[in-house]
Amino acid sequence: MVEPVYLSVITPAYLEEENLRILLPRIKNVLSQLSFGSEIIVIDSQKKLDCTDSACQENQVRYFRREGGENFGDAVRTGIRVARGKYMLFMDADGSHPPEFIRELVAHHLENDIVIASRYVSGGLTENPVHLIWMSQALNITYGLILGIKVNDISNSFKLYRSDLLKNLNLSCKNFDIIEEILFKISRANPNLKIKEVPFSFKKRMFGETKRNLVLFVITFIFTIFKLRFSKQKNQ
């Protein structure tokens, strides 16, 4: 008898084979210690760019190619669609989100709708360069003020969600701004939402180069914040 899936761990990946060969065994080890059924889902690029598929096969995890395009937002939407768990946990494939921290997020899931690995609460920190930290903090403060989201770390993708909150969302953002779009739309549709921020230490990526284009990041940030601010809830 196949054990029901309670937690889906979703990892968008783009040229991350080298990191995944290290991360996937660590994720599997953490999940094996939990008291409920789980699955690992890797969402790869549309076109084959490396041997991520082989790394997933060797580690016996679910492997999908992103649908709709090659953007990060397409990977997230694909992950939400294929996930089978009652809860979903998103984490990066570059090593900046240590798998061992999954235990900390899961520890708070029964009392909360969303659990966030937060760099910007007491006890949290990040290994990024100073200019990136300032940019990230400015983004989070601006999003929080303009969109009314009472969360310190909106932009970190390392979050655990109740799956039913995600399955019904109409998500349109193409890039990393989908992370803010998710939290904004869930918060707006659920006034009594319970969110827990757990202090987290953000690490530098292990191998490879970042996929974030800073110029595109800033342009997307400005466009998205106004799009969300003046969007209508019926188009949720």
**Residue holding tokens 């940030």?**
221
Answer whether residue 2 is part of any domain: no
Selection from 130, 14, 125, 126 nearest residue 70 by Cα: 14
Q: Yes or no: say if 116 and 151 are a contact pair by the CB < 8 Å rule.
A: yes
pLDDT tens-digit map of 157-201: 999 999 999 998 999 999 999 999 999 999 999 999 999 999 999
What pTM was estimated for this model as a whole?
0.90
Supply the DSSP symbol for 29: H
Answer whether residue 121 is part of any domain: yes
Total tally of structural domains belonging to the chain: 1
Answer whether residue 1 is part of any domain: no
Answer whether residue 229 is part of any domain: yes
Answer whether residue 77 is part of any domain: yes
Residue ranges of the alpha helices (H) in the chain? 17-32, 52-58, 72-82, 102-106, 130-147, 163-167, 178-189, 214-229
Q: Yes or no: say if 4 and 37 are a contact pair by the CB < 8 Å rule.
A: yes
* Distance, CA of 86 to CA of 4 (rounded, Å): 10
CATH number at residue 149: 3.90.550.10
Answer whether residue 82 is part of any domain: yes
Q: Quote the pLDDT of residue 236.
A: 57
Q: Quote the pLDDT of residue 204.
A: 64
* Distance, CA of 23 to CA of 9 (rounded, Å): 12
Answer whether residue 195 is part of any domain: yes
* Distance, CA of 74 to CA of 120 (rounded, Å): 27
Given a cut of 50, the residues of the chain with pLDDT beneath it are: 235
Range of the structural domain that residue 83 is part of: 7-235
In DSSP terms, 112 is beta-bridged to: none
Selection from 118, 132, 127 nearest residue 212 by Cα: 132
* Distance, CA of 230 to CA of 186 (rounded, Å): 16
